[in-house]
Amino acid sequence: MSTDKETRKKSASELPPAVLGELRKIVGAENVLTDPVDLLVYSCDAITYHQQSPAAVVFPADTSQTAAAVRLLLENDIPFLPRGSGTGLSGGALPLPGSVVLQTSHMNRILSADPENRMAEVQPGVINSFLTKALEPMKLHFAPDPSSQVAAVLGGNIAENAGGPHCLKYGVTGNHVLGLEVVLGDGTVAGLGSPWGDAAGLDLVGLFVGSEGTLGICTQATLKLTPLPQAVQTLLIGFPRLEEAGRTVSQIIAGGIIPAALEMIDHNGIEAVEQSVYAAGYPRDVAAVLLVEIDGFQAGLEEQAQRIRAIAEANHPSVIRMARNEEERARLWAGRKRSYGAQGQLAPDCLVQDVTVPRSLLPEMLEEVYRIAEEYDLHISNCFHAGDGNLHPHLLFDRRDKALTNRVLEAAGQIVKACLARGGTISGEHGIGVDKLPYMRLVFSEEDLEVMRRLRSVFNPRNLCNPGKLIPEPEKCESRQFGADAA
């Protein structure tokens, strides 16, 4: 993998001219990019240390253009992959050398919104927060809210089964997808699921959601809509000691309260946010803050807030603050949701790990992350979905410094292993892509992986649709893959 001029030129000239000509006929010449400088934009997702320019980027306008492009590429044995906004954090939208990116951003229409039946028909290139904004007058919203929701699109959310702060109460993307129209990896156009309750037959929506573009390309989706809550309360709770912040998280859930969101930001995360344009007024003299949001009917909400306060107070917080109005609430959330961006002022590159542990082990796991940071001499901050036990250590570095990059990759591997040793798993929500590929064999046997490959081959028989992602190939074929051998 390289981004030097030579490789970029090579990538652009790799497609046979006849194929380029056909692609231009399918989507229009203005909707095919081949200039190496243009292609650079599509050479990585938000995990910037994996980079590879595609051979071309194609912008289909609808399902039939997508299917025609896929069939042409299959006929010519050219790998291809769907791409949304490129905010993925596991390298899922990274092209293999010589691949064509099918960029979904021109399929960006909300086709219908049906408040009576609480569903919407959308194209995959609709930005997540644009859908929720459009639904506001109907007092509805699309509940999955990844922190990237102002940029990430629904197709990308579906492909990654994205979570988000409010998925603790409302469930992840998969819980909100009723039906899909897809162009499979063999060029077939298929309808999966049903807008009207459980579809008969196999749960193919469940299979497609989270498949990271390895089964096909979603070109339309029917989504479930959720009423906006009548009332919301947001608490900011700061703790001088991590252990007590962690204990509060476990005790809130064990106490039978399911907050809409329960997030934690540690001291380094707070510092990054407070030194940035996203400064949210978080206390800076604490080990960690919790953001706890409860929502529902007005009646009963105050009682829940009192119970949360009582649990927190027993754990010796240094500050408890309730957002007094929508403006204060929005500011608290902007700090959390922009915390990744805030790291950008500290270092040019950031590897975000995405692992889970049982909630009760969060403080112990965080201590282990700090120990690993010290061992590898790294700056690590943590902003994460504590209620789900889903940790996001942010490892800062500069990829031009090879020694530092290697330390980051090794430390990331150590964090994964530490989570697995505590009964956790290798991805909470960001998917496997290329970045987590080396860890798949730590959790799945060769037989498990073979079942996945066999299933993939039904939808994507030649493995030309987003190859090299999610499922490691049998060891003798590994040369087609990306990924660090950090595991």
Ligand X SMILES: Cc1cc2nc3c(=O)[nH]c(=O)nc-3n(C[C@H](O)[C@H](O)[C@H](O)COP(=O)(O)OP(=O)(O)OC[C@H]3O[C@@H](n4cnc5c(N)ncnc54)[C@H](O)[C@@H]3O)c2cc1C
Binding site for ligand X (CB under 6 A): 45-46, 81-89, 92-93, 104, 124, 146-148, 152-153, 155-157, 159-160, 162-164, 212-213, 217-218, 340, 429-430, 466, 469
Tell me whether residue 317 or residue 467 sits nearer to ligand X (CB atom): 467
DSSP at 389: T
Residue 48 or 414 with smaller CB distance to ligand X: 48
H-state helical runs in 292-401? 301-313, 326-337, 339-342, 362-375
Name the residue nearer to ligand X (CB basis): 153 or 408. Answer: 153
Task: Look up residue 53 and give its amino acid.
Answer: S
Least distance between ligand X and beta carbon 285 (Å)? 26
Residue 419 and residue 391 in contact, taking contact as beta carbons nearer than 8 Å: yes
Residues 23-57 as b/e (b if ≥16 CB within 10 A, e otherwise) read bbebbeeebbbbebeebeebbbbbbebbbbbbbbb
Residue 24 tokens, joined: 């231009």
Between 20 and 434, CB nearer to ligand X: 434
Beta carbon of residue 86, minimum distance to ligand X (angstroms, whole number): 5
At position 317, the amino acid (one-letter code) is P
The rounded distance, in Å, linking the Cα atoms of 340 and 357 is 21
Closer CB to ligand X, 329 or 338, in the complex: 338
In angstroms, rounded to a whole number, what is the distance separating the alpha carbons of residues 284 and 298?
32
Nearer to ligand X, 160 or 349 (CB): 160
Q: Quote the least distance from Cβ 149 to ligand X, whole Å.
A: 8
Q: Is 334 helix (H, G, I), strand (E, B) or coil?
A: helix
State in angstroms the smallest separation of the CB of 235 from ligand X.
20
CB of 123 to ligand X, least distance (A): 9
- Cβ within 8 Å of residue 430, ≥6 positions away: 88, 89, 90, 160, 352, 354
For ligand X, the closer CB: 185 or 317: 185
Residue 434: CB minimum distance to ligand X, A: 9
Q: How far is the CB of 253 from ligand X (least distance, A)?
A: 19
Q: How far is the CB of 18 from ligand X (least distance, A)?
A: 26
Q: Which two tokens stand for residue 148?
A: 């990237």
> What token pair was written down for 92?
């899922």
Q: How far apart are CB 178 and ligand X at their closest, in Å?
A: 16
Q: Which of 147, 103, 96, 74 is nearest to 434 (CA)?
A: 96
Q: How many CB atoms are located within 10 Å of the residue 415 CB?
A: 23
Q: Which amino acid is at 196?
A: W
425, amino acid identity? T
Angle between helices 362-375 and 402-421 (to 10 degrees): 150
Judged by beta carbon, residue 184 or residue 373, the one nearer ligand X is 184
Beta carbon nearer to ligand X, 157 or 268? 157
DSSP assignments along 211-272, one per residue: STTSSEEEEEEEEE-EEPPSEEEEEEEEESSHHHHHHHHHHHHHTT---SEEEEEEHHHHHH
Closest CA to 339 of 285, 418, 396, 405: 396
**C-beta closer to ligand X: residue 87 or 233:** 87
Supply the minimum distance, in Å, between the C-beta of residue 165 and ligand X.
Answer: 7
Give the dihedral of Cα atoms 391, 394, 399, 403; nearest 10 deg.
-80
